[in-house]
Chain A
């Protein structure tokens, strides 16, 4: 039976979100990510990078999404990643190389039940790939 959108209540709309994994498969491109393992040496955090491969759809933030960021963070370079959930899970502070530039994972939106995860990333100006 075809589900008609008009029969869904507004409050139940989130529960009705479809599995979008198949829809974004064609938009994906391979990216190299760096899982950052942390160790403390002489009271300072040392990061050890472990390379992993993922496939992701890269999207810049819309002006509205940028406006919702805290004032000091609006000038940062933000990217949004859509990653099917069969890819390795990234953690906050992990690095992703996008077009030859490091980005750091700042936020994770785990829409696992809908087939993908979304990551908010900002440009990491410390170091070059």
Chain B
């Protein structure tokens, strides 16, 4: 799973699914923690928030890929909790809140999960009313806590002895020295 921006992240994919299945406009579904105020107009607005995670596995494997050299493949699995908040100044959040969960269990959601190798739990762990007064209005707001199993992978070339200096620790009785330093060298031709 790509993780360096929202496009390929699990949270971004969850928001994409909700936007498509609930037929919302792009400006109605956004990431939390941004300089954004709820517009004064009617209609649903949704934010996605990362709450926390349980790391399940964290591995590092070195693969010998021949001409490509040694490649470190790191992968980790997380059970992540996201909070989806649906809100509106009118009552549309009240009467559409169930569609968030239904969107995450839809056929389209299953296709996205298959394509990106992650899993959204179909039943939320929490679904609570967080309506509050905002200015002269009373905002309808509901917080839905969902669980997602996501995996992340990073690959990078591992440094070998031709990349960094080092020293070889030896028996001083034979050499008169404790360690013999060596400098990085290009691999031998044909090696």
The answer, yes or no, to whether B112 is at the interface (CB within 8 Å) is no
How many residues of A are counted as interface, with CB atoms below 8 angstroms from the partner's CB atoms?
12
CA distance A96 to B121 in the complex (A): 46
Chain A residues within 8 Å of B48, by CB: 43
CA distance A36 to B34 in the complex (A): 14
Chain A residues within 8 Å of B27, by CB: 39-40
**How many contacts A-B (CB < 8 Å)?**
33
Nearest chain B CB to A88 CB, angstrom units: 19
Task: Classify the interface of chain A: helix, strand, loop or mixed.
Answer: strand
How many residues of B are counted as interface, with CB atoms below 8 angstroms from the partner's CB atoms?
14
Chain A residues within 8 Å of B15, by CB: 43
A42 touching B35 by the CB < 8 A rule? no
B residues near A, CB below 8 A?
6-7, 12, 15, 26-27, 29-31, 34-37, 48
* New contact pairs (8) apart from A40-B26, A43-B26, CB-CB < 8 Å: A36-B35, A40-B29, A42-B12, A42-B26, A43-B29, A44-B34, A92-B37, A93-B35
A residues near B, CB below 8 A?
36, 38-45, 47, 92-93
